[in-house]
Structure 1
Amino acid sequence: MSTGETQAPRRGRAAKAEAMMNAACEVFGRDGYTRAGMEAIAAEAGVSTRTVYNHFAGGKAELFGAVMAWSSARVRDEQLALLHRYLDPERPPRPADLERDLILLARSWTALMTRFPAHFAMVRQIQAEIGHIPAEVRETWQDEGPRTVVRESSRVFAALAGHGLLDAHGDPARTARHFALLTSGELSQLTFWGSAPLPEAEAAEVITAGVRAFLRAYAP
């Protein structure tokens, strides 16, 4: 068998796996964990239910954990890229530009709710069904997404404090969490994780007010 012949089935399996992950993301986001069925996910992916179980022998819990890890990693990578674009510790902003750059970062983070609607629909469902979500799935979501972003944000805010741009009060992790809560976190709550968007001017006002409150608390 030629290399091309062996690669074709692999590409087919990879495409099928990606289709199942995308389908699961859509179905879990739409129906929630409790009501989502493997049959509906298979139909959405255009594969048989047997195929889904062949990939995820642990059933719905295993699939949900896998799709949350996969989806959270995609959003996390975008968040970290934006963090480094606007707050590069190697090239820190000028003091006069810090507020502007924090606003740009927060607005870019909140825009991810529009770019990844199925992911944030799943987050909404987790919030609504928290008592029914397996604990290991909740931990996977946090480890792959929010906790990783907070760790890297902590490092960045510690570096900004080292440059005299912020006073992290000895706790850059809390500084990072407060920044997220006052900006993208507040907008997430107000828009129900992007399902009920605010008018653009109102959203911009929320972000700006959050950044200014953050700077009042953490100015050097």
Structure 2
Amino acid sequence: MASRKKSADQPAKIVSIFEAVESPGAALSKRDEILAAATRLFLSQGYESVSMDLVAQEAGAARRTLYNQFPAGKEELFRAVVERVWSAFPVLDIVAEAETQSDPDIGLRRIATAVASFWEPPLAIAFLRMVIAEGPRFPDLTESFFTHGKTPAMSAVRAYIEKQGELGVLSIRDGERAARQFLGLIDEPLLWIRVLGREEKFTRAERQDVIDEAVDIFLGHYRVKPKARKA
């Protein structure tokens, strides 16, 4: 019984920065406390209105502590937030798994599930909206979002698809385009409609249908067809 109580008292592991934002009482490292505070402020006030002093106050940290960790100021802090946001996207681990490498049906399904789960939290949508809204005035925000997150993730998916082409499982002429097509089959129905302001809520079954159909459509087009045996 004692061990069960100890287990129940242990704080839940925080995986994404959005979970940290929504769990102010959770046990976090000092760095994650700062990043969660910065994320809350960026989302509620926009990038321009947030100062390092505001972040220090929100995080309950000394200004010196903030600058010790992020000496270049707000730009470096935002980059760290972006990196922390994307650290919850496990695509780099997924594409390296042996089972994933041996079967694109398994690999693509796991990637699609990770993509759908990554964009499921409302705060993830709010963060993307913020980057889009602030991007024209602060191009470095968009650059950070791509350089420290989206680009490495896209590169991993592209490399996985190209590897399946090299193995003769998929027929790939343009790995970049194929990766964008695959992710588009997931993002278009599950992500962009919400980014544009439609507060759509998908059931687990609906999300799974999107994932299954994305994999089936992609493999239906790109999978190498077995040669018919001669009679």
Q: Structure 2: how far apart are the matches of 1:188 and 1:148?
A: 19
Q: Check the 8 A contact 2:94/2:100 in 1, yes or no.
A: no
Q: Which runs of 5+ in 1 are unaligned?
A: 1-13
Letter in 2 for 1:191: R
| Counterpart check, 1:214 vs 2:230 | no
| Counterpart check, 1:75 vs 2:88 | yes
| Counterpart check, 1:42 vs 2:47 | no
Q: Structure 1: how far apart are the matches of 2:98 and 2:74?
A: 39
Aligned to 2:8: none
Structure 1 pair 55/162, CA: closer, same or farther in 2 (3 Å)? closer
**Which of 158, 179, 182 is 2:182 aligned to?**
179
Q: Structure 1: how far apart are the matches of 2:205 and 2:29?
A: 40
Deviation, structure 1 residue 149:
1.7
**Which of 98, 102, 107 is 2:108 aligned to?**
102
| Counterpart check, 1:134 vs 2:146 | no
| Counterpart check, 1:33 vs 2:47 | yes
Letter in 2 for 1:82: I
Q: If each structure's helix is expressed as a fraction of its own residues, which one has the higher value?
A: 1
Letter in 1 for 2:94: L
Structure 1 pair 50/162, CA: closer, same or farther in 2 (3 Å)? closer
Q: How does 1:109-188 map to 2 (within 5 A)?
A: 109-114=115-120, 118=123, 120-135=125-140, 137-169=141-173, 171-184=174-187, 186-188=189-191
Aligned to 1:5: none
Residues 154-180 of structure 1, C-alpha deviations (whole Å, 9 max, x = no match): 2211221123221112x2122122211
SS of corresponding position for 2:212: helix
**Residue correspondences, number:** 196
Q: Structure 2: how far apart are the matches of 1:70 and 1:100?
A: 27
Q: Structure 2: how far apart are the matches of 1:71 and 1:138?
A: 14
Structure 1 pair 158/180, CA: closer, same or farther in 2 (3 Å)? same
Aligned to 2:15: none
Deviation, structure 1 residue 195:
7.0
Letter in 1 for 2:59: A
Aligned-pair identity (%): 26
Aligned to 2:17: none
Q: Check the 8 A contact 1:42/1:48 in 2, yes or no.
A: yes
Deviation, structure 1 residue 44:
2.4
Q: Structure 1: how far apart are the matches of 2:67 and 2:123?
A: 22
RMSD: 3.1
Q: How does 1:53-72 map to 2 (within 5 A)?
A: 53=67, 55-72=69-86
Q: Structure 2: how far apart are the matches of 1:68 and 1:155?
A: 22
Structure 1 pair 105/215, CA: closer, same or farther in 2 (3 Å)? same
Residues 58-109 of structure 1, C-alpha deviations (whole Å, 9 max, x = no match): 443332233223433x134x221133348633xx11xxxx445523431232
SS of corresponding position for 1:75: coil
Aligned to 1:4: none
